[in-house]
Amino acid sequence: MKELVENDVRLAIVDCLENAGVDKNIVANPTIDNNALTIMDSLQYLAFISELESKLGIYLIDDFLLPREFTSIDDFTVKLEYYVKGWVEANHRIYLMEGDDLYETEEVT
């Protein structure tokens, strides 16, 4: 899995939105973007999510499937950045549970 930085996530979102048919100028302009996610129809949004998963190499949880849950593209971006960081962390480490304690046993390369 590739390491991602915050700009990579933002660029992936803009690229995937554009591929789903949303003008990137709408996304890039903060005065227009009260929530560019809600201007897509359901098929566009699912295409956007599917492409985003492929581009970032992740699988999104159901919370990301409802565009109305996000107040703006920036809100979506921040939540996705945290999710991607957690995904990368979870997929690069092997953990062992002993009782109520979690121990990292090794890092996957």
Crossing angle of the two packed helices 42-56 and 6-19, in degrees rounded to 10: 140
Q: What is the pLDDT of residue 90?
A: 58
Residues 70-102 have pLDDT tens digits of 888 888 888 888 888 776 565 555 555 555 555
> Token digits for 1?
């899995």
Please check the confidence at residue 104 and state whether its pLDDT lies above 80: no
Helix (H, G, I), strand (E, B) or coil at 61: coil
Please check the confidence at residue 7 and state whether its pLDDT lies above 90: no
Residue 68's contacts (CB-CB under 8 Å, 6 or more residues apart) are: 38
> How does DSSP classify residue 20?
T
> Rounded to whole angstroms, how far apart are CA atoms 103 and 31?
46
> Rounded to whole angstroms, how far apart are CA atoms 51 and 74?
19
Sorting pLDDT into bands at 50, 70 and 90, what band is 43? very high
Q: pTM of whole model > 0.75?
A: no
